């Protein structure tokens, strides 16, 4: 009897395997939306109107812990395209156009090599030199469609909707026309209760509803094509958003995304759980998408890929963490790294001397953040709401189950010491493993990677990344007793170490007075990034003339991101001397015509607006 049962079991396995081999390769449809967190009924949001998303979740598998690795579009999309963390490739800074390494491929080409017809409708914006992503799709335009494929060929198709993009709240819809009423909005605890804040939230929920309708149209189009039963459907948002303290910030509101996968019955062997309608709690993030695609279509996963397949024959064990990061956001420098496990979020802030709410021209187009800033300046914000306008702690730790809006920082609570140390160690291990390029400031990295790429430089140069990370960790949370060590860092041959040494002394403020001579020497450093940080530190110590001279010198350098860094410092020190204004105007004249990569000009425009200086009076038209 046992032998008979074994034989029947074996025959069943062989039959199942045979039927799988006879299956045609599945089509794959990606529907993506921009700038939206899981504001959907299927995620428990009762205020949201998302019938199509909800129906898709009932027919598929809803991922409860899905994350963008960066909380802003272009670097997040870079990670999706390559399967490599943006900070590993040197692409973490918003709208940067650096070359990618020749070792790194693009998933559309991989899918084409696997026999798929690939279409993209139509967002690219991959945060690399655009020449490198030419012709990677069979079609990439607003007319690209899987219906154009050769007969009998499987398709991989992307449709991206911008309906819920941040820009959707820049112009206010009349309140009477809103379908979601401002008075019914449940505001996060960190947002003040202003009319503009309620209005922007309500308008955003309207845009989510409109976006959901577009999802429904795309799904219906697939149904009408007769290909639904042959097609695996993915829906996800490209990062969180969009009201202030979400997009661009490594909190749940900036990184957690809706993520649903629907798999046809004939491919049930690919189900991540027993049956459709199930919630899947596995930690996934965008870096996992390329290996998952290759796993689904039976292709070998290259060793250089940094994510883990969460579907298909090559699916891995569930990971413990998802990792996220923040770099330069348009014209504003900041640097954070984050780890998320099933319960907690850990954040390491490497520029804690900058406030959360740095002015950023594009973000400030929303009426809601303008009203938040006005309420803060009028003294109308409570402690939680005021925090956004203050400098950051070096470390943050949140219990996301009990504190979903992440307002109660547990990093200094002894009860959570073990969690803090565990997640701190995991974050460092990740940064070392992927060879994080972010510990070399952007302008410095540009200068030293001419003729190569940041990814290759980190692997070929022999740079001691472990020492850099240790130095940055100390510098971002220094004690007075660390001054001698920080001064030693200022004298090291490695410019990035000097940068972090200067950073530690800047954070110490007046306590760093004994290091003034070391900082003075750094004002003539060969690295403009070191000069900028040393100048800012010296300015706060009262050596204003020397500090400003160094900053003006950096404004004359040919590296636009060094100039952007200097302008950030000028804004932070609140210096508006006539000589400073003239130095900024002279820089504008030197740069000339504006283009989208000129973040130095965006930063300069912000300063002139702050100083109430009309560039037209000086012959500069900056109405862009």
Is 12 among the catalytic positions?
A: no
CB contact at 8 A, 194 and 371: yes
CB count, 10 Å around CB of 461?
12
Dihedral sign (CA 182, 184, 186, 189): positive
Quote the CA–CA distance of 133 and 11 in Å, as a whole number. 48
Quote the CA–CA distance of 207 and 212 in Å, as a whole number. 8
Q: Which tokens sit at 399?
A: 């219990």
Quote the CA–CA distance of 252 and 503 in Å, as a whole number. 28
CB count, 10 Å around CB of 48?
21
Q: Which tokens sit at 448?
A: 């030293």
Find residue 236's DSSP bridge partners: 32, 259
Which are the contacts of 312, defined by CB distance < 8 A and separation ≥ 6? 270, 292, 294, 295, 296, 297, 298
Which are the contacts of 102, defined by CB distance < 8 A and separation ≥ 6? none
DSSP class per residue in 62-117: EEEEEE-SSSSHHHHHHHHHHSS-HHHHT--STT--PPPPTT---HHHHHHHTT-E
Quote the CA–CA distance of 344 and 247 in Å, as a whole number. 20
Tell me if residue 494 falls in helix, strand or coil: coil
Pairing assessment for the beta strands 259-262 and 231-237 based on DSSP bridges: antiparallel
98-120 core/surface letters (b: 16 or more CB in 10 A; e: else): bbbbeebbbbbebbbebebbbbb
Instruction: Single out the catalytic residue among 7, 12, 42, 73.
Output: 73
CB contact at 8 A, 623 and 605: no
Could you list the active site residues?
73
């Amino acid at each position: 009897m046992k032998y008979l049962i074994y034989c029947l079991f074996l025959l069943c396995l062989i039959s199942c395997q045979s039927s799988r081999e006879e299956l045609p390769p599945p089509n794959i449809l990606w529907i993506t939306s921009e700038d939206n967190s899981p504001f959907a009924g299927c995620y428990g949001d009762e205020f949201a109107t998302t019938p199509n998303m909800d129906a898709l979740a009932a027919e598929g598998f809803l991922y409860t812990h899905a994350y963008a690795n960066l909380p802003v579009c272009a670097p997040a999309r870079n990670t999706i395209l390559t399967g490599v963390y943006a900070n590993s490739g040197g692409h973490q800074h918003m709208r940067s156009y650096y070359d990618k390494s020749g070792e790194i491929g693009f998933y559309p080409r991989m899918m084409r090599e696997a026999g798929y017809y690939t279409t993209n409708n139509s967002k690219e914006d991959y945060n690399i030199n655009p020449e490198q992503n030419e012709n990677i799709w069979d079609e990439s335009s607003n007319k690209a469609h899987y219906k154009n494929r050769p007969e009998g060929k499987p398709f991989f198709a992307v449709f991206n909707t911008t309906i819920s993009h941040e820009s959707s709240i820049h112009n206010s819809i009349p309140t009477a026309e809103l379908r979601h009423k401002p008075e019914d909005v449940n505001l996060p605890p960190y947002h003040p209760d202003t009319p503009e804040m309620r209005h922007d939230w309500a308008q955003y929920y309207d845009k989510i509803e409109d976006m959901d309708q577009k999802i429904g149209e795309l799904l219906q189009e697939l149904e009408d094509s007769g290909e639904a039963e042959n097609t695996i459907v993915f829906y996800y948002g490209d990062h969180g958003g969009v009201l202030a303290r979400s997009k661009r910030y490594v909190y749940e509101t900036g990184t957690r995304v809706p993520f649903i996968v629907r798999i046809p019955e004939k491919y049930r062997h690919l189900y991540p759980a027993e049956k459709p309608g199930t919630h899947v709690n596995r930690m996934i993030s965008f870096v996992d998408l390329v290996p998952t695609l290759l796993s689904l279509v039976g292709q070998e996963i290259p060793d250089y890929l940094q994510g883990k397949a969460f579907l298909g024959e090559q699916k891995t064990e569930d990971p413990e963490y998802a990792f996220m990061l923040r770099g330069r956001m348009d014209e504003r420098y900041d640097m954070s790294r984050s780890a998320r496990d099933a319960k907690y979020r850990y954040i390491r802030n490497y520029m804690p001397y900058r406030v959360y709410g740095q002015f950023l021209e594009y973000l400030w187009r929303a009426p809601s953040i303008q009203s938040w800033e006005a309420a803060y300046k009028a003294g109308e914000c409570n402690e939680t709401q005021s925090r956004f306008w203050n400098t950051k702690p070096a470390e943050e730790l949140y219990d996301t189950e009990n504190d979903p809006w992440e307002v109660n920082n547990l990093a200094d609570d002894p009860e959570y010491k073990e969690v803090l140390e565990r997640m701190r160690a995991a974050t460092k291990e990740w940064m070392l493993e992927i060879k994080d390029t972010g510990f070399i400031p952007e302008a410095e990295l540009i200068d030293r990677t001419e003729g190569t790429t940041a990814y290759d430089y980190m692997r070929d140069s022999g740079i001691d990344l472990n020492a850099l990370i240790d130095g940055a960790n100390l510098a971002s949370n220094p004690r007075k007793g660390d001054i001698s060590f920080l001064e030693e860092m200022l004298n090291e041959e490695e410019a990035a170490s000097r940068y972090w040494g200067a950073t530690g002394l800047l954070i110490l403020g007046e306590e760093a007075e004994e290091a003034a001579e070391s900082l003075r020497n750094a004002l003539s450093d060969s690295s403009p990034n070191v000069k900028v940080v040393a100048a800012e530190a010296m300015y706060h110590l009262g050596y204003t003339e020397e500090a400003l001279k160094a900053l003006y010198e950096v404004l004359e350098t040919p590296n636009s991101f060094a100039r952007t860094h200097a302008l950030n410092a000028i804004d932070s020190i609140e210096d508006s001397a006539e000589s400073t204004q003239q130095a900024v105007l002279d820089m504008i004249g030197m740069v000339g015509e504006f283009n989208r990569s000129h973040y130095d000009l965006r930063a300069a425009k912000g300063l002139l607006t702050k100083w109430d200086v009309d560039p037209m009076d000086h012959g500069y038209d900056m109405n862009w």
